[in-house]
Structure 1
């Protein structure tokens, strides 16, 4: 007869996996991927290193999951902020304020998500993260064109360019751990000009 996990055992395993993942997220937010060793994660989660490997067979699996989890939180926050607004101008401001504001509030984590050198598994996730941001941006641009708030343009190209430009503009301040007070307003003004927002 095949062994089956009881619901209680499965719940404990799921909780342990979440504890390990939370510990890894905390370390990346404090030290970046360079500080996220399996031993450090195990110590932070108060488990044996073997427990980490049971849930994540390799360090690359763990950091890729950290990246997916952290990235999805950021995408969800930006989407929630944009969806609260009704005009393209207000949505664009909400997108930039939320993306840049959250990044600058947690510079080490944001730098890890955007620019820190990583192994190929995480780099692959980074491309998916940028694509997800661009897809969301493209949807808003398409809506802005349809209602006359934006001039006709290729939404995919514009969205990809905006994600790249905003991300690149933040890399320097994130690496330095600080940004000037005009950074976010300047990014919003740039985005408005680049997309041709009609007041």
Structure 2
């Protein structure tokens, strides 16, 4: 049997550095500055320092890029809130602290937070935001279930209560998120505290004390 002298040489195309994180950062920065609508693909490519053709190789459409942006940014926020929820303390204390963590981070990054919860978007982006809603609700649901298990909270539909908390936060913060005046910080904090107080009283089934902003 004749043995070939050598196998055909396969040319390996070397890829450059992965631009994916760079693109997402550029997109997030633009959305944080001016919202989804103004974050055009050409501006994102320019901010990332890449050619527009390179951007489209990673993300064939703006919608796909925004869906990925919502997913990654939302997961980061959920992870932070979940970390607070796992701390020591009563269920009421942890629920309040977790809700305030979400609210305070949203108020520090108002434009980006508004885009993540309220800005009019394409259906695919809205679907990604709904996933964010559900993931955040699961964190609150876990705390509520723990409170019920030890008799701190009355029996209730924990999933429904958690959804109500997320809904209160999302809807209740829309007005403050659209107001960028730094002078309103104290009033905004008071507004956020009132929302959380309402949620805690609803879950605990009692006249829980007014929520005090914790030192996180």
Q: Rg larger in 1 or in 2?
A: 2
- Out of 188, 192, 196, the position equivalent to 1:184 is 192
Query: Contact (CA 8 Å) 2:81, 2:139: kept in 1 or not?
Result: no
State how far apart, in whole Å, the 1-side matches of 2:13 and 2:87 are: 43
Residue aligning to 1:99: 102
What displacement does 1:3 show?
6.7
Change (3 A) 1:192 1:57: same
- 5+ unaligned residues in a row in structure 2: which ranges? 1-7, 209-216
State how far apart, in whole Å, the 1-side matches of 2:158 and 2:82 are: 17
Residue aligning to 2:119: 116
Residue aligning to 2:31: 28
Residue aligning to 1:160: 163
The count of residues paired between Structure 1 and Structure 2 equals 194
State how far apart, in whole Å, the 2-side matches of 1:162 and 1:35 are: 30
The structure 1 segments of at least 4 consecutive aligned residues displaced by more than 4 Å after TM superposition are 1-6
More helix by share: 1
Provide the aligned C-alpha RMSD in A. 1.8
What displacement does 1:100 show?
0.4
Residue aligning to 2:135: 132
TM-score computed with the length of structure 2 as normaliser: 0.84
Change (3 A) 1:87 1:45: same
State how far apart, in whole Å, the 1-side matches of 2:57 and 2:72 are: 19
Query: Contact (CA 8 Å) 2:31, 2:39: kept in 1 or not?
Result: yes
